[in-house]
Amino acid sequence: MTDLRIEPDWLADASLQSILAILSADGEEARIVGGPVRNALLGLPVTDIDIATTCLPEETIRRIEAARLKAVPTGVEHGTVTVVANGRPFEVTTLREDIETDGRHAKVRFGKDWTADSKRRDFTINALYATADGDVIDLVGGAADIETQTLRFIGEAEDRIREDYLRILRFFRFFAWYGRGRPDADGLRASTRLKEGLSRLSPERVWNELRKLLSAKDPSRALLWMRQCGVLTAVLPESERWGIDTIHPLTLAEAELGWQPDPLLRLMAIVPPDAARLTELARRLRLSNTERDRLVAFAQAEPVKAQESDGSLRARLYFGDCQAIKDRLRLALATQRGKPDTLSETARLGAQLSIAERFEAPPLPVTGDDLIAAGIPKGPELGQMLDRLRRAFVESGFTLSREKLLDLVKAPAD
Ligand code: ATP
Ligand code: MG
């Protein structure tokens, strides 16, 4: 045990305390592990709480159910049971060692050895445990590395990567989130040397890591190193010729203008806006349909120019894809801000972005029924008339009243 202690608010949570107590009775033991301990030491917020225990998975399930809590065997073959208490999930994993690995999966052996369990984890900062009282247990030197914000593999970086190539991406992901200065030289060298192995991973795991990497407050340094050593091209060949120069001004704009870090917008910053290539990227990395649609719509939207009028922009927001236009505008504004002697363009893009962000399509004040009442027969003519009125309404800046629009019905089309 170290003399380190954590005392975050979440540690006092009654559900967490009772799960730890249930799994620590009768000679067994349970501790909080990994992310929450690391983040508590760094004073950062925690979303998921992972627990490690000496109980075998069946024993975890038995004890949890006996306490009338819900146990879901989410990954029992690897020892993981999700416990739901008070509507909140806790991941409980039996202490284990990886006894056979093929670069993607591991065959595991359950055990009671905390040192073996900590050594099978990826980085020193991810292998700390805490007891229910908040005492920190450090079996791999993780606390010192948290102190210096050093991201270091446990053991030999090359060996650890050969066991699971995803660790290359995790190396850059955790560096982006918690690292400082340059990435650890051994980790960098091993990642460079073994990057070909990334092609063996399932696309879901790759995108999941990339998305988390792209969600860091400032992923620009991590991305630069990844690009430098060829890892970025290995997983995102689209970025190779396009470059990643926009990432830095984008993260600056986010920080200074209060935009939430947006992993998809960051992705858009480093790949060419080419609908066919982005469709292919989305298929290859198994992006969700929502993610794919947003990427493709971004590529298909005309870039917004500073000289575009407000009216034309509003018409585009009305008829087009608002999200895609906002994405275009944010990237345009972020890049423009970094350029010298372009103050007026920057101000203009800022104004356009606030129009886009506030834009809500006002409903057309006349309906099909109004037109029928005005003598327009049902059928194609009705649709054409509605389109004509909608255009007039948009062109007027959404100011034409119902009466004025109905007057237009009587007027001949121009
Ligand atoms: P986050 O805050 O992003 O959830 P985390 O540290 O909880 O960070 P997870 O990906 O949720 O990270 O993994 C939980 C823990 O499991 C890690 O802290 C690490 O100890 C271990 N782990 C996860 N994936 C791997 C892996 N591929 N190889 C080795 N250990 C891993
Ligand atoms: Mg986690």
* 298 vs 323: CA distance, rounded Å: 8
* Position 1 confidence tier, pLDDT thresholds 50, 70, 90: low
Q: Whose CA is nearest to atom 30 of ligand 1?
A: 121
Q: Could you tell me the maximum CA-CA distance found in the chain, to the nearest angstrom? A: 89
Residue spans of alpha helices (H) in 136-260: 142-147, 157-163, 166-178, 185-194, 203-213, 220-228, 231-235, 239-242, 247-257
Cβ–Cβ < 8 Å for 153, 176: no
For ligand 2, the distance from its centroid to the CA atom of residue 50, given in whole angstroms, is 7
pLDDT of residue 410: 81
Residue 152 CB–ligand 1 contact under 6 Å = no
Tell whether ligand 1 has an atom less than 6 A from the beta carbon of residue 121: yes
Q: What tens digit of pLDDT does each residue of 199-232 get?
A: 999 999 999 999 999 999 999 999 999 999 999 9
Residue 167 CB–ligand 1 contact under 6 Å: yes
CA dist., res. 293 & res. 275, Å (int)? 10
Which atom of ligand 1 lies at the shortest distance from residue 46's CA? 2
**pLDDT band for position 342 (50/70/90)?**
confident
| Domain 1-148: CATH architecture, name and number where available | 2-Layer Sandwich (3.30)
Record the pTM: 0.91
Neighbours of 18 (CB within 10 A): 15
Q: Count of alpha carbons within 13 Å of 144, Cβ hemisphere only?
A: 4
* Percent of the chain predicted with pLDDT > 90: 89
Q: 362-371 pLDDT, tens per residue?
A: 899 999 999 9
Residue of 49, 126, 177 best suited for mutating to test ligand 1, as the one with most atoms within 8 Å of CB: 126
Ligand 1 contact, 34 CB (< 6 A)? yes
Ligand nearest to the CA of 96: 1
Between the CA of residue 162 and those of 101, 103, 234, 412, what are the distances in Å?
8, 5, 16, 74
- Residue spans of the domains in the chain: they are 1-148, 301-358, 368-410
